Amino acid sequence: MYSGQHRSTKNSANSSDKPAPSQFAPRGFVVQPKAEEVAPQQEQTPESETQQEETKQDQGGLIDFSKLRPRPSPARTPRLQMKLTIGQPGDKYEQEGDQMAQDVVQQNGSTVQRVQPQEIGKKSATSLGENELMKEELEFGVHQQTQTDLVQLAPKKSDYGTFEDKKYEFIEGNKKVDFELEFTPNDKADAIKVGLTQDIKNIQGGNIQAIDPNAATKMTPEGYRIDRVSNARNPLYATLPEPTSDADKNKLAAYKTTDFWGQHAEKGDSGWTKAILKDKPTVDGGNNSSKEFETTALAIDGKQKDTYYGSVKWGWKKDASGKVSLVDFDIVSMGKPSKNFIAAAKKWNAGKTRGTLVPKADGTKVYDGSLKEKFTIDTKTEAIQKQTAAANNIIYVSIEVISEGTNK
């Protein structure tokens, strides 16, 4: 799921121009609402702080994420979340994207079993944060080493620029995919800043899988969601958790990027810099598993603000025999991305970032790092999600208990 120097450029006069009407993207992504996490209510003394820390360590652990749900939001106005461009249904570029995606699947001769997603909890509360990204998940369990596939690097052109896979290969004994994408806008791109974002469909052992309880609320029935960690508010890839100023908190372009994950493309006096996306998704989930991505370029400042500039597909898959292969890197859309991406964008726009979690049922088991049961918790227990971990085709959430119910 990255390199190059991020360069600041002089803002064009276009940055203050009113965006031109566009059939491709009449409204944009939003910053997700953010609700409070519940904090422990206890008078603090040096002794009590030490005891509380020891208690938290005892009460922390791993829980099968499907056993948790987001706690209903507190009765206060949440902070807004950035929305993604949706566009009018049935427009030229949406139809084109869907047809091209269908053609690509038929050419590959590959299919992914469509199954019902796991039970989805209610819309969640939230805490602001970012780039732990799902690439910093805890991982335990054995990864099967199989054949390594190499994909020939070749640029793909849309109507508004060129996508090029600078890196695309298995690494670490087929445990990860090292992917680096560059997008260079062309003369038709009447903008001054372009960002990249992508959706993901994650199949583990033949089943649609989310990464945590909040991500499940922002996933379509077919398993597509915007590829951001559940505490991220900005849907653009590689963006930092906070904007340059509080006044710009709801503007996509106001959030800076980190070179570790990529950068936006910017137009200056000497032309365009490149938009960059760097990703290293894990290869996990056993046989009949896959992670498939559709990455799209989006104008986020300038006359064509909120216009999509095309999309490409990539990812990995593991068949029933355990053989892994890379998804062919190819163009999906010349402009607006596919219906699956747009559906994922709608789910993002209706969602919130993560916050406090509660069990769905009494007697929910909490495990240690070796997956041995530590204790159980009831529906009155509240916890904060820390990280996620994968083992035996199950996603576990690492939690910190912040309000006790009945722990046994």
What does 177-225 look like in DSSP terms, one character per residue? EEEEEEEEE-TT---SEEEEEEEEEEEETTEE--SSHHHHHT--TTSEE
pTM of the model: 0.67
Give the residue with greater pLDDT, 54 vs 245. 245
Terminal CA-CA length for the chain:
40
Whether 109 has a pLDDT exceeding 90, the answer reads no
Residue 166, token pair as written in the block: 């600078």
**34 strand-pairing partners:** 79
Q: What pLDDT was estimated at residue 98?
A: 47
List, for residues 316-368, the tens digit of each pLDDT value.
999 999 999 999 999 999 999 999 999 999 999 988 887 788 888 999 999 98
Q: What pLDDT was estimated at residue 314?
A: 99
Please state the rounded mean pLDDT for residues 73-102.
49
Q: Where are the domains of the chain?
A: 156-350, 356-403
Q: What pLDDT was estimated at residue 354?
A: 77
Please state the rounded mean pLDDT for residues 380-388.
82
List, for residues 177-236, the tens digit of each pLDDT value.
999 999 999 999 999 999 999 999 999 999 999 888 888 889 999 999 999 988 888 999
Q: What pLDDT was estimated at residue 15?
A: 35
Q: In 204-294, where does DSSP find H-type helix?
A: 213-217
C-beta of residue 218 within 8 angstroms of C-beta of residue 235: no
Give the residue with greater pLDDT, 11 vs 330. 330
Lowest mean pLDDT among 7-16, 20-29, 69-78: 7-16
Q: What pLDDT was estimated at residue 408?
A: 54
Would you call 66 helix, strand, or coil by DSSP?
helix
Query: Mean pLDDT score of the chain, rounded to an integer?
Result: 74
Lowest mean pLDDT among 155-159, 160-164, 388-392, 403-407: 403-407
Listed in sequence order, the residues at least 6 apart from 94 whose beta carbon sits closer than 8 Å to its beta carbon are 87, 88, 336, 338, 339, 342
Lowest mean pLDDT among 24-28, 58-62, 131-135: 131-135
Please state the rounded mean pLDDT for residues 107-111.
38
